[in-house]
Structure 1
Amino acid sequence: MLTTHTIDTVVRAALEEDAPWGDLTSATLIPVDAVATARLVAREPGVLSGGEVFEAAFRLTDAHISVDLAIDDGETFDAGDVLAVVTGPARAILQAERIGLNFLQRMSGIATLTAHYVAETLDTRARIVDTRKTTPGLRAFERKAVRDGGGHNHRFSLSDAVMAKDNHLAILTSGELSLTEALFEARGRLPHTAHFEVEVDRIDQIEPVLAAKIDTIMLDNFSMEDLRRGVAIVDGRAIVEASGGVSLETVRAIAASGVDVVSVGALTHSVRSLDLGLDIEIVADA
């Protein structure tokens, strides 16, 4: 959940970083009593995400600025559409412009890319989820954008669930216990409500992991043939997640293999910000 407190904390820090002692350019060039009206215009089609964050950038700069959003987060738009109208003191609008756009463009880029992945998997059982490959400090923002694009969120942090990856397993099985025994013993130390996921990168690891009563098994960087074999081996005994090598070109085939979840790090770590612009149309004296 992206709360108002989180939005204001992050946006305020961004505004202070961008204008620690005010906007020297606007203070020099723009009359103090000038009032502006600006339109937020889409330069390309996409899915909106971050409207509340965009509004916060202006609100926290000057409470006299009003932001009228034309569409809600999660809605689609076309190139040329006016997405919002911003009205208020011209200096403050110019000062907040870049921060508001930076957040909105990135979040809308994530939502738009996520929507493309979701569209590729609509007739399969698989859901598209993000990963922890997010921008430090902006995870709640980027996770919200994934949801706005029709995707789902993986565990939010290391505190939310157990997810044993290859390095964990290497250490866990360095003693005398087998993989199954080590996982089963670890499972016994968890509360009954805690979710336990294990990553495997070979077919022969699947049965030993399942024997430990694991909730989710991640098939990491499996070939298409091995993905289908893996799903058949699991046979409903755990949630099956596919990870690694996922792109818009491969996601449909991966989803069609029968997996329940496809995790896509590219949703947040390789996304391109959407092209949105703020066009000032009127500048007048108050």
Structure 2
Amino acid sequence: MQNPPYLTPDALRAFIHSALAEDVGDGDHSSLAGVPAEARNRARLLVKDEGVLAGVALAELIFREVDPALQVTVQLPDGSRVKHGDVALTVEGPARSILTAERLVLNCMQRMSGIATKTAYLTSLIAGTPARLLDTRKTTPGFRLCEKWAVLIGGGVNHRFGLFDMIMLKDNHVDYAGGIRPAIEATHAYLKQLGRPLPIVVETRTLSEVEQVVEVGGIDRIMLDNMKPDTMREALAIVAGRFPTEASGGITEQTIRAVAETGVDYISVGALTHSADILDLSLKAF
């Protein structure tokens, strides 16, 4: 899998530094107090659940950042289907360093694996349709990089990363601009002035708004927000393949198949990141 633009060495390093600063502060005093400086040990990362593993590559970076002397052996890479009793990786080296890295590794991997598992499950529900599953910006502040990475590992597709890499004219933008046409026309003028070819997505709430977007044109995708499948089919007939379409709003595992069968190109689901359970993992000495 090719790394997305947000997954750079600098971004990963910045995330790890910030997370370690939050957790370690001026020192892991429990390990410094209770474990001899010269002690060397090893530990296994144990899977205690069923799902899709994610965060292994990140765990390697965390261990290395905490102490380059730590040696990680990966048993199961990102994207692996796992079950209770599997060993994801082993780590060996200075005991204090293993303990210092433990919680950050587990926090990241449990959360990422939960998101990857939910993504893989919802993706399986739309198999055989043209629809692809998208995430959203409904992420945990400071942890977006990891959450969107987990969606990719689970087989989903990333939507925009933030407010800077796509123009999305949602309901409030349209209302504040005075309607569909003025919102799109103002966007074209802005991008011309900016000299930056950002993709444009326009959210529509009604069939009338879909018609207006198609009439104005000059956009990259039409979002069909909170529409029932029958209404989506009507909207797709209006679009007639001229623009990619995205279904959004309140889509659940009970409704996602019916939405996908309308023929939309994308389905965005905020629950991938804001409501996923964790996958139970633990790091145990052996």
Q: Same fold (TM over 0.5)?
A: yes
Displacement after TM superposition at 1:166 (Å): 0.7
Displacement after TM superposition at 1:221 (Å): 0.6
Aligned pair partner of 1:268 in 269, 273, 280: 273
Aligned pair partner of 1:8 in 1, 4, 13: 13
Which residue number in structure 2 is paired with residue 183 of structure 1?
A: 184
Query: Which segment is superposed worse, 241-250 or 8-17?
Result: 8-17
Query: Which segment is superposed worse, 80-89 or 189-198?
Result: 189-198
| Pairing 1:240–2:241 present | no
C-alpha separation between the residues in 1 aligned to 2:26 and 2:187?
53
Contact 1:65–1:87 under 8 Å retained in 2: yes
Which residue number in structure 2 is paired with residue 161 of structure 1?
A: 166
Contact 1:49–1:108 under 8 Å retained in 2: yes
Which residue number in structure 1 is paired with residue 214 of structure 2?
A: 210
Query: How many residue pairs align between the two structures?
Result: 277
Query: Which segment is superposed worse, 69-78 or 98-107?
Result: 69-78
C-alpha separation between the residues in 2 aligned to 1:101 and 1:262?
30
Q: 1:57 to 1:181 in 2, by over 3 A?
A: closer
SS at match of 1:238: coil
Which residue number in structure 1 is paired with residue 103 of structure 2?
A: 98
Q: TM-score of the superposition, structure 2-length normalised?
A: 0.91
Structure 2: tracts of 5 or more residues without a match: none
RMSD: 1.7
Query: Which segment is superposed worse, 1-10 or 79-88?
Result: 1-10
| Pairing 1:278–2:279 present | no
Identity over aligned pairs, percent: 44
C-alpha separation between the residues in 2 aligned to 1:46 and 1:182?
43
SS at match of 1:60: helix
C-alpha separation between the residues in 2 aligned to 1:116 and 1:278?
26
| Pairing 1:50–2:55 present | yes
C-alpha separation between the residues in 2 aligned to 1:144 and 1:195?
21
Alignment of 1:19-98 (within 5 A): 19-98=24-103
Letter in structure 1 aligned against 2:50: P
Letter in structure 2 aligned against 1:180: R
Contact 1:187–1:196 under 8 Å retained in 2: no
Contact 2:76–2:87 under 8 Å retained in 1: no
Contact 2:173–2:183 under 8 Å retained in 1: no
Structure 1: tracts of 5 or more residues without a match: 282-286
Which portions of structure 1, spanning 4 or more consecutive aligned residues, are displaced by more than 6 angstroms?
none
Displacement after TM superposition at 1:170 (Å): 0.7
SS at match of 1:211: helix
SS at match of 2:191: coil
Q: 1:194 to 1:13 in 2, by over 3 A?
A: closer
Which residue number in structure 2 is paired with residue 18 of structure 1?
A: 23
Letter in structure 2 aligned against 1:66: Q
Letter in structure 1 aligned against 2:92: T
Contact 1:39–1:82 under 8 Å retained in 2: yes
C-alpha separation between the residues in 1 aligned to 2:150 and 2:101?
21
SS at match of 1:44: coil
Displacement after TM superposition at 1:26 (Å): 1.7
